[in-house]
Amino acid sequence: MRVNKMLIQIAISAALLLPAILFDKITGWFWVYMPLYVLSWGVAAWSVAVKAVRNISQGVVFDENFLMLIASVGAFVLSFVFSDYKTVLCAPGGGEIMMDGALVMLLYQIGEYFQSLAVRKSRKGIKQLLSMRPDSAIVERGGAEEEVFPDEVEVGEIIVVRPGDRIAIDGVIESGSSYIDSSAVTGESEPVYRRAGDSVQSGCIASDGLLRIRTTREFGESTASKMLRLVEEASEKKAKQETFITKFAKVYTPIVCALALVIAVIPPLIMTLVSGAVTPDGTNVWGNWIYTALALLVVSCPCALVISVPLTFFGGIGGATKRGVLLKGSDRFSPYAGATVIAFDKTGTITTGKFSVTETNISDEGLRLVAAVESNFTHPIALGITEYVKTRGRCEGAENLAGRGVRGTVDGKEILIGKSELLSERDIAHEEISSPYTTLYAAYGGTYLGYIIVADTVKPSSVEAIAECKRQGLKTVMLTGDRYEVAEAVAREVGIDEFYAGLLPEDKVAKVEELKARGEKVIFCGDGINDAPVLAAADVGCAMGGLGSDAAIEASDAVVMKDDLSSVIAERKHAKKTIAVAMENIIGSLIIKTAVMVLTIVLPYFPLWIAVIADVGVCLLAILNAMRTLRGKVAKSEPPKLTTPAA
């Protein structure tokens, strides 16, 4: 709405300015063109004047509003004071300085309009997050459905999510199934299928099925609410470039104003004392130099820096959010971009965190017997085996043999599954398999069935992510509490440069401190509560896999919603780009402004309107450059496939 008002203001000012210029240049009718110039200026200037007065009342005097107001008012004053009424003001073209004053304010407002459009675009990506937080939730109470505010839903209650609705609160599906669009939360474009027993996050959309979800968190602690809170807090933490610009503007603007005052007074005073106030061509020395000082004020306006640099980092945060990475502040960009080492936890970061069967020589019938026993246990290894074997026999009894394996009875015969020692105790002959991963041996009725190797498998994206680290010149390190043999195998598989195994949380912190002592800048990626200390110790801590662990989130500098290392690596490139854009805007703006400021002093009668075009032009170029940080290579979501996956 504000942008529309600005556009109307610009249109009216331009409509008044055009006939003023025509009357001025063609007829020289002073009492016709002068009121039109004043009205055109007034329409464009009133909002600037209001902001300038408000800022002055708050102790902020030297800002762009004040500079533009002084420059444009000064042009009118010069015209009235230093121009002869009969020979200049009433002659065709006599109101040129007035035209400059009105044109300065109109061009400034046009620049402000385009700046507003750019800011609106930069905020659009962030504001889209607001749609993730529903205004209401449908909850089952007393056998009926009731629509309530989400913060009124208690943990453990059932909420109903219809097709096309956004999930209001984190929970577990009690009944129903649906494709879930999680693009707003994780940046993942492809919908995922979820059924009863699966966890779902708030902010996601149920595409095609009715879901009954039992809530596991309060609304304020759900994924969408946390994301919004993190984004809101991020704007309060400034990058050092932003802090520099704020301090620079406070010193730079008063200095330029003082310089303009010196130029307006000292040269004409000297020239008046030497040769008089009127030059040989009939112009007034004081008017010429005051006009030059006004042009200097216009060009020196620091809005290109004051607007574009914060916009660069704001856009950078928005671009990161598109990738599913939430940075906790623009002050995180610099250490992220400057990192030389990236360290990883293993379980759940490089690997899936779930055991899977990677190799077995047991027949299908033998696996059916094994699964019959393992289905009685909830150990991660047992879950990995039962996930691998879809059909199983009927177990008549099962027992856990602590530290050795499990024993059960199927079809009246004993089945043993566990370490090699378990079979050796029963004198059951079997082969010995050499593997860094967990190897289970199975025997049924005293006869060896074969072996099963289970492992925490590497995520498909991890190998490419590590390769990208090397392409970016990053050294890779893995810190894990797992056994040496397992760590070595995983490090070899994904291409890690260094690894350290058998580490406690405090040992991981010590390793990171050791790397930092060598002068390295360290990013650490982890996903668990036990990673909180090392996340805090690293130069940049990345909490992986969304908003599950409060301790990890609190200690981290970035939260990676998509449980994928490629997001972490891509964000480092984005951070480097954001820093580069900010520095381009700072250095480029200062060079161009300095050059134009010199021209205003050196060249005689440097037009105000050209000065304001130079100022607005630099500002718009800097803003357009800043908008590059908003770009995110995020694929558009495909329409969900409605074929239900096999159970």
How far apart CA 146 and CA 120 sit, in angstroms, is: 37
Q: How many CB atoms lie within 10 A of CB 591?
A: 11
Amino acid (1-letter code) at residue 239: A
Packing angle between helix 240-275 and helix 565-602, nearest 10 degrees? Answer: 0
Residue 76 and residue 20 in contact, taking contact as beta carbons nearer than 8 Å: no
Q: How many CB atoms lie within 10 A of CB 254?
A: 12
Packing angle between helix 484-494 and helix 460-471, nearest 10 degrees? Answer: 70
Strands 211-215 and 171-175: antiparallel
Instruction: Give the DSSP H or E segment for 396.
Output: strand 395-401
**In this structure, is the dihedral angle defined by the CA atoms of residues 98, 100, 103 and 107, taken in order, positive or negative?**
negative
DSSP structure class, residue 351: E
Strands 558-560 and 395-401: unpaired
Q: How far from chain centre, in Å, is Cα 320?
A: 3
How far apart CA 137 and CA 159 sit, in angstroms, is: 7
Residues, the chain: 647
DSSP structure class, residue 613: H
Residues with catalytic roles: 345
Torsion of CA 56, 59, 63, 65, to 10 degrees: -20
